Structure 1
Amino acid sequence: MLNITTFLDANAYRLSKPVFHCPERNLFYTSSEILSIASGIGQDLLGMGVQKGDRILIYLNNSPEYLCSYFAIWRIGAIAVPANRVYTKFELAYMIENSGATVIITDLDGAEFLKPMLEGHDIDIDICFSGKVEIYISSEIENLKNGPVLPPAFVTSDDLCQIQYTSGTTGKQKGAMLTHGNWMAAISNECDVMGYTESDIYLGIYPMGHVGISWGISALRAGALYIMMERYELEKYLHLIKTHRVTVLSGMPPVIHSLDSCPPGTENKIRTVREIISGGGPLHHEIWKRFYLRYNIPIVNAYGLSETIVIGTGTAIRPPDYAFADKFQSVGHPVCFSEVKIVDENDSAVTLSQGQIGEIALRGPAVAKGYFGYPEETKRAFLEDGWFLTGDVGYLDKDFRLCLTDRKKDMIVMSGWKIYPTEVEETLYRCPIVQEIAVFGMSHPHRGEVPAAVVIWKDACKNPQDEEEKTKILLDFSKEHLAGYKIPRKIITVSDLPRAGGWKLLRRELREKYN
């Protein structure tokens, strides 16, 4: 028996403490109560005719219902297709058609949004719990807390339990096929890396439609308390940390950047935190270093993808690394049972030497089975010997730690010169008038591409200088600190940066907009 939900059974027998908290509704749940609620939802799915292997789309806001729907689907041997509430109708229609979902778990608002869209497509699909959906979206979910437990469906480690759609940073979303075995590896590795204990309190901000929910599920597995934020807001984030004495924080580069910019006294609000997670994109050296020196909180800088359930197969910096070797610029060594290597970007059969920049390849127990419905893409990325070509670019430093450079498709090639946007950003973040910056490739008739930058200026610098003067300051800084070919040829002032789910930088959108 390898059903991933059986960890809830084990914890229900030995723990009576709350392990999940929804502050917006002031709801607490034990492992036993989560198991009963998931069983109730699972029983209804079976009553609708759902069978093992059927795909079920979840379209909800972050909520207890979202979490319990995952467990219900996995419990009966079906396959979860998690969706983010911010997706457009076109993205949702594509996910539904590509996955072949036959049921959607949603709420009343979601049903109203989806129904007109589905009428325009040849899709035979049910809106789950129509007629009694209110039970699952209101506090009446409490009625399921003490219901009978549904036996877990028999599955093997190789059986699918999830189709996780990538963020689409390089084009059309693809659904990574994740298995019960993949999830077991992910939970085990995340518990190991974070050092979770039953006394820990984890604050989760990641959308539940994203694999970042794995950090929260790992906290549940360890018997820690998982506090869920419906949506991230800095002031509410800080309030929850202080009120609940949070010990483990979920974060990402923009969040860490915001904390670094917070006024003096913020240190007291987060003094109970022993570590904070970062992932989803490169964490710039300057921001990482300033944060650590100010707060003395180690950042677990992790590297993984949807296709590897974050660090189910991946790498991570751990707190002990700070004592002797880390230079605030790597994502660490491989986690348990995982391997990493760097290969030639044009020939994956060629393994590169230490220090050489190339495509990052991962191999380990949480690598997905491939992309659902995309055999050719699967063949190109998931090699027969188990290696997964990530599409990310990086190198192994002198201590064999992995250092990220960029997405393979984000690399700029100008007259044969290779320019890595993250490297340029790392340098320009040190310019005193820059708040945030993103570098991307802009097409050029003679050079193919040239580097361009969009900039958010620091507040104190928004009024004193005009655009021309600020641009000159940044260009002078660039000329002093960068090789000539890396200097941005165009600088554009913006008020925000395009990000997937509010965190992963979308250079593709910048290229499309300004090209």
Structure 2
Amino acid sequence: MSNLYSILEANFPADRSACAIESRGAGEPLFYSWADLHHGSGRIANLLAALNLPAGSRLAAQVDKSVEALMLYLACLRAGIVYVPLNTAYRKAEVEYFIGDAKPAVVVCTPANFSWVGKAAFCGGAEVVYTLGDDRGGTLLDRAAHHADDFVTVDRADADLAVLLYTSGTTGRSKGAMLSHGNMASNALALRSLWGWHLAPDGTPAERDTLLHALPLFHIHGLFVAAHGALIAGAKQIFLPRLDPAAILDLLPRCTVMMGVPTYYVRLLAEPGLTPERCAGMRLFVSGSAPLLKETFELWRERTGHVILERYGMSETVMNTSNPYDGDPALRKPGTVGPAIPGVGVRVVDGRTDQPLPAGEIGDIQISGPNVFGGYWQMPDKTAESFTADGWFRTGDVGRLDDDGYLSIVGRSKDLIITGGYNVYPKEIESFIDEMPGVAESAVIGVPHADFGEAVVAVVVPRPDAVVDEAALIAALKAGIANYKVPKRVFTVDELPRNTMGKVQKNLLRERFGAGAD
């Protein structure tokens, strides 16, 4: 049987009464055992099975983070229904688009949003709309309570669709990445070994990890990396509904693993209580979903004694590469995302010919392996152009592979700036700017220019109480890099616009500063 849930369940502790998830919300903590997860997802799976939906039917969920939301996902896996997680920040027009594109038979939303989500769902052809609140309220659990908690997980092949995950859509129309049971199972099993998830054959809780889970559940990082990782290792999770630096510091002494986006580590570094003693029981801090500044990497090591592990993944492939966990932490190189994880192929090629480039040269990143998705939902032309003739996925990312196999991400190919016939990779320029006095972080974009086609423009966030002088910064860059790479203008902002996973939304910067380079 290749159903992902069956693979996860096979690794639950022998003692199903042990705590699987401790949920820390506004009130008193709630504790869920492994039996609770299994039986709770079984009730919801029975409810879904009673709808007698056709094979391949989809369920779209826009719900707040809760253990019950995780149970809903697990129930979809068990019942063979395709799960479609939606970002909780999406509003009416966006939800209408996703429902119209995915055409889910079932939609689950928060009780507060039922009036407008329900209307969009029924107009889009959904048969049923349930509600689910983060307080264990809503019609989904009310209906499921009338069903048995014993459910036989359905058989699924590796290639069977499990999840339809929409890309962030920061630069255009969101696409539905079709991820199979096999895609996600292969990744979870590889990371279990690679990241040293502690396994105890006898199921002794004291020998297992505890994951501090503060990420959302609608994205690969929180659901398909963090939650899958804990479940397939039989590890306890402590759920926080959102980023709360004070709560994280309070819980760190009880945990061994934490995953976050760079913003999490920046916010924690601002807390006086972040000390080596506070992190003494931790064995692994993981950062992903957006680039981690070298300064943040170094400051974290100085403040805590721990070296953050950076990795590289995306909606279409889950995880691709990872800095090493075992051995000397010095092997985790700042500014890189490590070598390919076991079973995954990574190459950097000339984008015009798809031929691999020598080590150290910048080119397009391509991926192969059992983690690579089956294509984009109802977009056969886009799917075809996203794969090479020999089956490698064109990620749209640009980077370089060093001699030792470590990958460095330079940027997105769509962010490539061509100015006066020369290629400029924003990440390279940002790395220089970020090292300059008074600069907290930067984003480099290309904007229309009458003479050069595109002009290089930098948007800079100053450090507190610092002033960034445009002329001085440009002069300093001219002394260190080729003139065609030097920004024509430097603008300062209080903060860079980011999506919910911390990625800078350069399309918004281009809209704001697109006319400022002439």
Name the TM-score, length of structure 1 as normaliser. Answer: 0.90
Q: Does 1:248 align with 2:257?
A: yes
Quote the Cα distance in structure 1 between the aligned partners of 2:169 and 2:327. 33
SS at match of 2:211: strand
* CA-CA distance at 1:285 after TM superposition: 2.7
**1:91 Cα shift?**
1.8
CA positional deviation for 1:13: 4.5
Instruction: Provide the secondary structure at the position in 2 that maps to 1:426.
Output: helix
The alignment status of 1:396 with 2:407, answered yes or no, reads: no
Cα contact 1:177–1:371 (8 A) shared by 2: yes
Checking the alignment, whether the CA contact within 8 Å between 2:99 and 2:120 is kept in structure 1 is no
Superposition deviation, residue 410 in structure 1: 0.8
Quote how far apart the aligned CAs of 1:404 are. Answer: 1.0
State the SS of the aligned residue for 1:504: coil
1:262: how far off? 4.2
* Residues 32 and 147 of structure 1, relative CA distance in 2, 3 Å threshold: farther
Q: CA deviation at 1:296?
A: 2.2
Residue 284 in structure 1 maps to residue 293 in structure 2: yes
Does residue 497 of structure 1 match 2:474?
A: no
Give 1:263-302 correspondences, 5 Å limit: 263=272, 265-302=274-311
Equivalent residues in 2 for 1:173-322 (5 A)?
Answer: 173-197=174-198, 199-212=208-221, 213-214=223-224, 215-242=226-253, 245-263=254-272, 265-309=274-318, 311=319, 314-320=320-326, 322=328
SS state of the match for residue 93, structure 2? helix
Counterpart secondary structure, 1:129: strand
Instruction: Return the alpha-carbon distance in structure 2 between the equivalents of residues 135 and 70 of structure 1.
Output: 15
Q: Indicate which of 402, 410, 414 corresponds to 1:405.
A: 410
Residue 312 of structure 2: SS of its match in structure 1?
Answer: strand
Q: CA deviation at 1:139?
A: 13
- The AA in structure 1 aligned to 2:232 is R
Q: 1:362: Cα distance to partner?
A: 0.7
| Residue deviations 1:377-420 (CA, integer Å, cap 9, x gap) | 10011345331110000111121211111111111111112111
Gap regions ≥5 residues in structure 2: 199-206
Partner of 1:154: 155
Matches within 5 A, 1:315-394: 315-320=321-326, 322=328, 325-348=331-354, 350-383=355-388, 385-394=390-399
Structure 1 residues 145 and 27: alpha-carbon distance in aligned structure 2, compared to 1, 3 A threshold: farther
Residue identity over aligned pairs, in percent, reads 30
CA RMSD of aligned residues (A): 2.7
CA 1:152/1:325 → structure 2, altered by over 3 Å: closer, same or farther? closer
Q: Is the 8 A contact 1:298 1:322 kept in 2?
A: no
Give the alignment of 1:32-111 within 5 angstroms.
32-111=35-114
Task: Classify 1:479/1:295 alpha carbon distance in 2 versus 1 (closer, same or farther; 3 Å).
Answer: farther
Structure 2 SS opposite 1:62: coil
Q: Please give the secondary structure, in 2, of the residue aligned with 1:418.
A: strand
SS in 1 for 2:465: helix
Q: Distance in 2 between matches of 1:15 and 1:390?
A: 40
Q: Is the CA contact 1:59–1:110 (under 8 Å) kept in the aligned structure 2?
A: no
* Alpha-carbon displacement from aligned partner over 1:27-79 (angstroms, at most 9, x marks no partner): 12122210111111111112233343101001101111221111111111110
Counterpart amino acid of 2:341? V
Q: Give the Cα–Cα distance (whole angstroms) in 1 for the partners of residues 281 and 114 of structure 2.
A: 41
Contact 2:162 2:180 in 1 (8 A): yes
Deviation for aligned residue 1:224: 0.9
1:300 Cα offset (Å) = 1.7
Amino acid at match of 1:478: L
- How far does the alpha carbon of each residue in 1:135-179 deviate from its partner, in whole angstroms, 9 at most, with x for none? 6549978x9699532101111111001101111133111111011
- Counterpart in 2 of 1:3? 3
Q: Quick one: distance in 2 between partners of 1:79 and 1:288?
A: 38
C-alpha spacing 1:485/1:411, structure 2 compared with 1 (3 Å) = same
| 1:167 aligned counterpart, secondary structure | coil
**8 Å contact 1:394–1:406 — kept in the other structure?**
yes
Contact kept in structure 2, 1:439 and 1:451, CA below 8 Å:
yes
1:353-373 CA-to-partner distances (Å, cap 9, x unmatched) read 111111101111110000011
Cα offset, 1:232, TM superposition: 1.3
Secondary structure at the residue paired with 2:220? coil
- 278-287 or 75-84: bigger deviation: 278-287
1:94 Cα deviation after fit: 1.4
Distance 1:32 1:7 in 2: 16
CA contact (8 A) 1:22 1:28 kept: yes
1:65/1:137 contact within 8 Å kept: no
Displacement after TM superposition at 1:131 (Å): 11
1:486 aligns with 2:485: yes
Contact 2:387/2:394, CA 8 A, preserved across alignment? yes
Match of 2:204 in 1: none
Query: Distance in 1 between the 2:511 and 2:434 partners?
Result: 24
Helix, strand or coil at the partner of 1:405: strand
| 1:103 CA drift (Å) | 0.8
Unmatched 5+ stretches in structure 1: none
Is contact 2:176–2:376 with CA below 8 Å preserved after alignment? yes
- Cα gap change, 1:20 to 1:264, in 2 (>3 Å): closer
Residue type of the alignment partner of 1:437: S
Return the alpha-carbon distance in structure 1 between the equivalents of residues 146 and 127 of structure 2: 25
TM-score normalised per structure 2: 0.90
Shift of 1:206: 2.3
Distance 1:132 1:172, change over 3 A: closer
Q: CA deviation at 1:482?
A: 3.2
Is the CA contact 1:20–1:228 (under 8 Å) kept in the aligned structure 2? yes
- Alpha-carbon shift at residue 114 of structure 1 (Å): 0.9
C-alpha distance 486-54 of structure 1, shift in aligned 2 (>3 A): same
SS at the partner of 2:409?
strand
Q: Which has the higher helix share?
A: 1
Cα distance, 1:478–1:83 mapped onto 2, change above 3 Å: same
2:417 counterpart of 1:418: no
Query: Which residue of structure 1 aligns with residue 22 of structure 2?
Result: 21
Partners of 2:437 and 2:349 in 1: how far apart?
37
- Distance in 2 (CA, whole Å) between partners of 1:144 and 1:460 is 57
CA 1:126–1:473: 2 relative to 1, 3 Å: farther
